[in-house]
Amino acid sequence: MREKLLAELALYEPAGTREREMLERLRAFVAANPDCFERTLAIGHVTGSAWVVDRDREAVLLTHHRKLDRWLQLGGHADGDGDIRRVALREAVEESGLEDIVLAQDGIYDIDVHEIPARGSEPAHLHYDVRFAFYADRGTAPVVSGESHEVAWVPLADLPAFGVDESVLRLAKKTTALPAICRP
């Protein structure tokens, strides 16, 4: 599965210098670490995230992460699954309780490499995050999982008031480029 991810990464066009640098770090990490999808790899691991927007592309589904105490997109560990698109979808369903989540575009939506602080016996490490965009119905209320304090639909215009980091703002900026969805 590393080869499949590396092939997808080769096709990805990053948005700007910072994301290009993170893409190169991610490619080098995946190429050098056969166990890159395992959270047991103490230096870091590949994770999958889901940028879930409503069908009008006006709001995003965010989680107030219990461990990190911040508002973030949905996502998590691959736990050995090299199909990162599937990981992102699985995490979105698990963390939101929504089941009608559909892929917004085929390819990778965003790349991010970020540090996760040490916690208990777990040392600080890097998440090599591969992000995909999805659509869901904003009329469906999310369910809070044990990993979150809260899960909410947040209007894109309100993201700064939620104290999101620059990577979430970068995700939001890309939202207008997502294809419009046809409604029945």
Q: Is residue 122 part of a domain?
A: yes
Number of domains in the chain: 1
Q: How many CA atoms lie within 13 A of 8 on its CB side?
A: 20
Residue 58, domain CATH: 3.90.79.10
Find the mean pLDDT for residues 68-83. 93
Does residue 67 lie in a domain region?
Answer: yes
**Residue range 2-47, pLDDT digits in tens:** 999 999 999 999 999 999 999 999 999 999 999 999 999 999 999 9
Torsion sign, CA atoms 20, 21, 25, 26: negative
Is 184 inside any structural domain? Answer: no
**28 part of a folded domain:** yes
- Helix (H) / strand (E) element for 114: namely strand 110-116
Radius of gyration in angstroms for the set of CA atoms belonging to the chain, rounded to a whole number: 16
Which residues, 6 or more positions from 90, have their beta carbon under 8 angstroms from its beta carbon?
48, 81
Half-sphere exposure of 29 (CA within 13 A, CB side): 25
Does residue 183 form part of some domain? Answer: no
11 inside domain: yes
**pLDDT score of 168:** 95
Structural domain range at position 169: 2-177
148 within a domain of the structure (yes/no): yes
